[in-house]
Structure 1
Amino acid sequence: MAERISEEKLAQIRNETNIIDVVSQYVQLKKRGKNHFGFCPFHDEKTPSFSVAEEKQIFHCFSCGRGGNVFTFLMDVEGISFVEAVIKTAELSNIPLDFTYDHHTQDNPMQSKKEKLVQIHEEAAAFYHQILMNTVTGQAALDYMTNRGFTQQTMQEYQIGFSPSNRTALFQMLKAKKFDEGLLQESGIFTDRQGQNELFDRFSGRIIFPLRNAKGQTAAFSGRIMHASQDDETGYHEAKYLNSPETLLFNKRDFLFNFDKARSEIRRHSEVVLFEGYMDVISAWQAGVKNGVASMGTSLTDEQNRILTKTADKIVIAYDGDRAGVEATKRAIEILERNKHFDISVFPLEAGMDPDEYIQQKGPEAFAKALKNNRETVIQFYSRYLKMNLNLDSEKNRITYIETMLKALASLDSLIERELYMKDIAEEFGIPIDILQKQLKGYQQDVLQQQPDRAPVRRSEAQSALAQAAYPKTNNRKATQAEQSEKQLLYRLFHFEEVWSYLQEIDADFNFIHDDYQTIYILYEAFFRQNGAVGNIDQFLDRINNPALQNLITQIEWFQLDSEVTYQEIRDLVHIIRDKSSLQEQLTKKQAEMKEARKKNDNERLKSIMSEIVSLSKELKATPK
């Protein structure tokens, strides 16, 4: 950093930034009372326990315990330094900075290596894009993309490129830019040929799609052949798509193509469209559908599911209309339904058609309109899926179809939806609806018996729980009564100037029992004396370098206490802490003496000490609350 960030500049950035605006770019937040809630970005969870207090400009997770202010959040979620978090916050809030920062000086070796690998990929992406857009070598690929309906603006937006047939051209360019050859080998862009002094481009002769991570950085590539190739004499058939192997930057299980561009639109509508391939996503983007993403291959993973869970409530599956696409849709539904979070629908396509072809044949407006209005429910999809795989001319298959549909209906939450589908089945197969209802009840009992202790939490239940909870549950260790008193006292010290006078009058030499609370007390006293006013906890958090203390401070800030404080309250808190502290010190001392007596095999002394420990323990428990 060229110079230190001034307190005035930090204050300006804090004052002109709303933590809700920043966190909302990473977590889908919903307002419940004063605060906003969502799924924690730092751990996996099935019910939202992550909260942001707009009034206090801090966040806290009641499950994993993480907490802090806007800078802390960015440091944790992006894995960046404090200075980088300040700069990013300023950029998000359009606040000009009057200094420069060389972040390489403070990087750890692993972070530095990752950044160099990103630089390699960014340089390669620019090289491929230049070849496609401005050279004779890339003209055939450019014509192919243009004929497919992609505009130059779209190709520039996604930095689509072309890898030339000269397999060493990229290596020579990167080597000339002084990139380390070992890192080039680790990038996944090249293949190594034994006995050769050069690395060979693995994507040679392919149209290149840069794969960007959630930050918008190029982390890998996918290369697509222009035309389907014929099997050669060896029976070898060239794959349509060739992706980068997994590297330090790239893991296909937690990667979603276009997530960096689509994230804001997904959050705006709380809806994501899931496609099979990159071409579908890009065609849809060009057609005005900006909330589309694609997984790596047709199989959605649990990791990708968790990413989407934190971003949207509704998901539309728009896979290809062929049998493989329908099977992939079924697998995706099974994964998405595991945590009962999504409202899932399916965009049905004709057999053999994919979204890109739909747009080419019927136009972008028709596609956007159909995607919005022509959707199947999960039950409707299952009905179509079963009919594809069962010949309903057979009585046995008709029974199988009806029983399978009833089992699917048994898990539905909506009574109205269940009755509508039951009526459809009854009319289609000429079966009295009361017979179907009787059979359905049996399946519903089976569903309940399968999960006697773990009924799945529905979205409506989770939202209701959030609306009712004044203080959400936490998995953290339960605090002792003395520790709760310490937290309560600190909260009062954070927000009421008169408490400092009360504490001085009650006990001028007061100390907290636990080291963490005493440390916070000392640090906040210095902060309070310097500022001349209490409060400003989001500013105080910038003075704390210890993440555990930051989490503890934000946890204390979520206390819900009376808006008025009394001298008697502070006196009672001090009394509990002081008495518990004295008894706890005696108990700790006696426990140490007991260990010593055991070492010396002094049984008489051991009995005496154990008796004293029992008495002290009883007295400690009996101390007034």
Structure 2
Amino acid sequence: MAERISEEKLIKIRTETNIVDVVSQYVQLKKRGKNYFGYCPFHDEKTPSFSVAEEKQIFHCFSCGRGGNVFTFLMDIEGISFVEAVQKTAQLSHVDVDISLPDENYSNPIQSKKDKLVQIYEEAASFYHQILLNTVTGQEALDYMMQRGFSLETLKEFQIGFSPSNRTALYQMLKAKHFDDELLQESGIFSERRGQNEMFDRFSSRIIFPLRNPKGKTIAFSGRILQASPDTDSDYHEAKYLNSPETLLFNKRDFLFNFDKSRSEIRKSSEVILFEGYMDVVSAWQAGVRNGVASMGTSLTEEQNRMLTKVADNIVIAYDGDRAGIEATKRAIEILDKNKHFDISIFPLEAGMDPDEFIQQKGAKAFCEAIKNNRETSIQFFSRYLKTQLNLDTEKNRITYIETILKALVSLDSLIERELYLKELSDEFGIPVDSLQKQLKGYQQQLISERTGQRQSNPAPISHYKANPDAAVTKKRKITQAEQSEKQLLYRLFHFEEVWSYLREIDDQFHFIHDDYQTIYILYEEFYQRTGQVGNIDQFLDRINNPALQNVIAEIEWFQLDSEVTYQEIEDLVHIIRDKSSLEDLLGKKQQEMKEARRLKDSEQAKSLMLEIVSISRQLKATRNSPH
């Protein structure tokens, strides 16, 4: 597809784009030295191994091996074509370039269906929004939202709407726009009444909250009940909220309401506020808290946790103050605390109150101040939670409470925080701090023993995560010295014109051992001859259609070699590649044969192979000490 965009346009976009600015909209980056680091968006990891080089305008993950330029990054993370990635880059970088997307003929059938479903949802969202703001039918719902304190500006910002009681109105509108019935049924917006061959709006007579994906496209709806209509079935309006079913576009496990709007503010502050309901998010946004999101229902999922891990270090749980909200807070802490990534705090609310009600009763300013300054730690919340579960008037429950809190303190990293809680327990229950510390040390020793025993008896398997089938994190194979020399030689060829002359003089028939490196060598030689200059690796990557080769090129580009190159260095690299490769390959082969001989308990064969391995190893050692 690269030929669809002129080289002139590509150069303009590259020149006016900083890959750091683009990647930062998807990954929270922190500068270390010359480069930027963050958690890889293509696989799960506990320590950041994803890096972006501003100087070279490329990215590379040192764990899963993904790499490339800004276009590659967008193609991978958004699942879009090269042309779409170029267009997206121009948009994100505010570069004024006219780029036409490829014809529908080139579209993937699944992607084409997704695009049409998005169109249906966008049309439906616009329809609902107009009903709310501009019709008599929506007046009651509009009055209700205004009475709740929502401004017209906020309603427009979130494109909140209303579904009319006429359950066929939306269907008729969409049919007039030539959407076929099969696709409309698949959208999840409609339901069929038994015995009637007609589709009905499942959100009828509800206030509509459009649910948008990270790109800001509507992919589902949530309808909040306003009041039941007399002409509908008696059991139709039971649930307060009715959500779209899961579809090709929508999976509630990896969806966060308002993530598209809040993401930039979350990255900026490195903090996210986790609310329980959509109304809370919208109300908080209007009050000035712009880094809030809500999960579908009250249970945070592992997928949502991973989404938040990429963009924030701190998380504030602001769930409702009722029993369900407290239980949901406990579950969320358990999920968030698994990988120890987040600094977790809790915004405590009075029993029965939610954030929206707090704002209505006490005002926006009071809410902003409270959610900033009135926060609990996880231990404080856990203490409060336990007290709702145990009657502390009995001695047995008091002992249970104290022991449970002490066990929770074992996982705390902060010595000061631990000592503070010990003093609070001492003051509250009249127990000497020394006694509490002694008990705590016993729990700490018990935990160490359990972990040690588990490691000895049941070694933990290597985790195998993947964002998609091509992004699996696997144990990296051992790189031989010859292969490492191949990579170094390619790096020198990428950046020094004189190396091409040196290589021809040393061996004009030179050939890389590994096919991937030979392919890269041939492709880059053609690129170098066409452009007339070395470098421009981000531009060279656009010519590579193979993702595996793109990853290799990005990895090579991360080498830290001397800024000067000599003839002797290139000669040494060629010597290692030529002379050591065959020995290293032979050594590997003999070592595999040795393993097989031992498995078969063939002692004579094993003894013979051992002698061969020793001999080859000596030859390899001799080549290392050779004058080359």
Q: TM exceeds 0.5?
A: yes
Distance 1:493 1:194, change over 3 A: same
Q: Displacement of 1:64 after TM fit? A: 1.0
CA distance in 2, matches of 1:186, 1:338: 37
CA RMSD of aligned residues (A): 2.8
Residue identity opposite 1:147 in structure 2: Q
- Give the AA of the match of 1:244: S
Inter-partner Cα distance in structure 2 for 1:270 and 1:279? 23
Look up the match of 1:349: 349
| More deviation, 163-172/548-557 | 163-172
Match of 1:415 in 2: 415
Give the residue type in structure 2 aligned to 1:309.
T
Q: How far 1:103 moved relative to its partner? A: 5.2
Displacement of 1:443 in angstroms is: 1.0
Residue 569 of structure 2 corresponds to residue 563 of structure 1: no
Q: CA separation in 2, counterparts of 1:104 and 1:623?
A: 61
Counterpart residue number, 2:375: 375
Residues 36-64 of structure 1 deviation map (CA, whole Å, 9 limit, x = unaligned): 11111111112111111111110001111
Name the counterpart of 1:218.
218
Q: Which residue of 2 aligns with 1:624?
A: 623
Q: Distance in 2 between matches of 1:554 and 1:101?
A: 27
Task: After superposition, give the CA deviation of every residue in 1:381-410 in whole Å (9 maximum; x if it has no partner).
Answer: 111111122222211111111111111111
- Change in 2 beyond 3 A, CA 1:616/1:198: farther
* Residue in 1 that maps onto 2:157: 157
Check whether the contact 1:411–1:447 (CA below 8 A) recurs between aligned residues.
no
TM, length-normalised to structure 1 = 0.90
* Cα distance between partner residues in 1 of 2:299 and 2:586: 62
1:238-317 alignment, distance < 5 Å: 238-317=238-317
The aligned residue for residue 444 of structure 2 is 444
Q: In 2, Cα distance between the equivalents of 1:364 and 1:243?
A: 28
Q: 1:586 to 1:272 in 2, by over 3 A?
A: closer
The answer on whether the counterparts of 2:205 and 2:228 sit within 8 Å (CA) in structure 1 is no
Deviations 1:34-92 (A, max 9, x none): 11111111111121111111111100011111100001000100111111111111111
**TM-score, normalised to structure 2's length?**
0.89
How many Å separate the matches in 1 of 2:530 and 2:310?
40
2:547 is aligned to: 547
Answer whether contact 2:583 2:620 (CA < 8 A) is retained. Answer: no
CA contact (8 A) 2:205 2:227 kept: no
Q: Which whole-Å CA distance do the structure 2 matches of 1:612 and 1:376 have between them?
A: 67
Counterpart in 2 of 1:469?
none
Deviations 1:521-552 (A, max 9, x none): 11111212222221111111111111111000
CA contact (8 A) 1:228 1:240 kept: no
**Alpha-carbon deviations, 1:480-535, whole Å to 9, x = none?**
22111100110111111221111111001101011110111111112122222211
> How far apart in 1 are the matches of 2:622 and 2:223?
71
Determine the C-alpha separation between the residues in 2 that align with 1:246 and 1:2: 35
Shift of the 396–537 alpha-carbon distance from structure 1 to 2, 3 Å rule, reads: same
Report the alpha carbon displacement of residue 277 of structure 1 after superposing the two structures with TM.
0.3
1:197 is matched with which residue?
A: 197
* 1:171 and 1:198 in contact (8 A); partners too: no
Query: Are residues 139 and 234 of structure 1, via their aligned partners in 2, closer, same or farther at CA, if it must alter by over 3 Å?
Result: closer
Instruction: Supply the distance in 2 between the matched residues of 1:166 and 1:323 (Cα, whole angstroms).
Output: 37
SS at match of 1:293: strand
The alpha carbon displacement at 1:576 in A equals: 1.4
In structure 1, give the amino acid aligned to 2:204.
S
Corresponding position of 2:536:
536
AA of the residue aligned to 1:624: T
Question: Residues of 2 paired with 1:416 and 1:587: CA distance?
Answer: 55
Q: Deviations over 1:336-366 (max 9, x none)?
A: 0000000000000000100000000000111
Residue aligned with 1:121, SS = helix
Instruction: State the shift of 1:165 in Å.
Output: 1.1
Unaligned runs of 5+ in 1: 456-472, 595-605
Instruction: Please give the per-residue CA displacement for 1:448-468, whole angstroms capped at 9, x wherever unaligned.
Output: 23333899xxxxxxxxxxxxx
Regions of 4+ moved over 4 Å: 227-230, 232-237, 581-591, 609-623
SS in 2 for 1:220: strand
Matched, 1:100 2:100: yes
Distance 2:240 2:170 in 1: 22
Q: Per the alignment, do residues 555 and 623 of structure 1 end up closer, same or farther by CA in structure 2, a change over 3 Å counting?
A: farther
Structure-1 residue corresponding to 2:493: 493
Aligned equivalent of 2:188: 188
Q: Residue 112 of structure 1 corresponds to which residue in structure 2?
A: 112
* 1:481 aligned residue: 481
Aligned residue for 2:4, secondary structure, equals coil
Aligned-partner SS, 2:297 = coil
Q: Deviations over 1:7-35 (max 9, x none)?
A: 12211111111111000000011111211
Report if the CA contact (8 A) 1:229-1:238 is conserved. no
Q: Is the 8 A contact 1:266 1:311 kept in 2?
A: yes
User: 1:237–1:96: structure 2 CA closer, same or farther, 3 Å change rule?
Assistant: closer
Which amino acid in the other structure matches residue 491 of structure 2?
Answer: Y
How far does residue 474 in structure 1 lie from its aligned partner after superposition?
Answer: 8.4
Structure 1 position 578, deviation (Å) = 1.4
Change over 3 Å in CA distance of 1:615–1:368 after alignment to 2: closer
Structure 1 residues 226 and 589 mapped into 2: Cα distance closer, same or farther (>3 Å)? closer
Q: Is the 8 A contact 1:84 1:103 kept in 2?
A: no
Structure 1 equivalent of residue 462 of structure 2:
none
Residues 1:524 and 1:49: Cα distance change in structure 2 (over 3 Å): same
Structure 2 CA distance, aligned partners of 1:375 and 1:615? Answer: 66
Aligned pair in 2 of structure 1 residues 374, 437: CA closer, same or farther (>3 Å)? same
Q: Distance in 2 between matches of 1:219 and 1:73?
A: 23
Question: Kindly, what percent of the aligned residue pairs are identical?
Answer: 76
Deviation at 1:475, TM superposition (A): 3.5
Q: Deviations over 1:101-143 (max 9, x none)?
A: 3453421100001000100110111111111111111111111
Give the 3 Å change call, closer, same or farther, for CA 135–237 of structure 1 in structure 2. Answer: closer
Distance 2:101 2:237 in 1: 50
Q: Which amino acid aligns with 1:414?
A: S
Shift of 1:154: 0.6
Contact 2:133 2:139 in 1 (8 A): yes
> How far apart, CA to CA, are the structure 2 residues paired with 1:612 and 1:113?
64
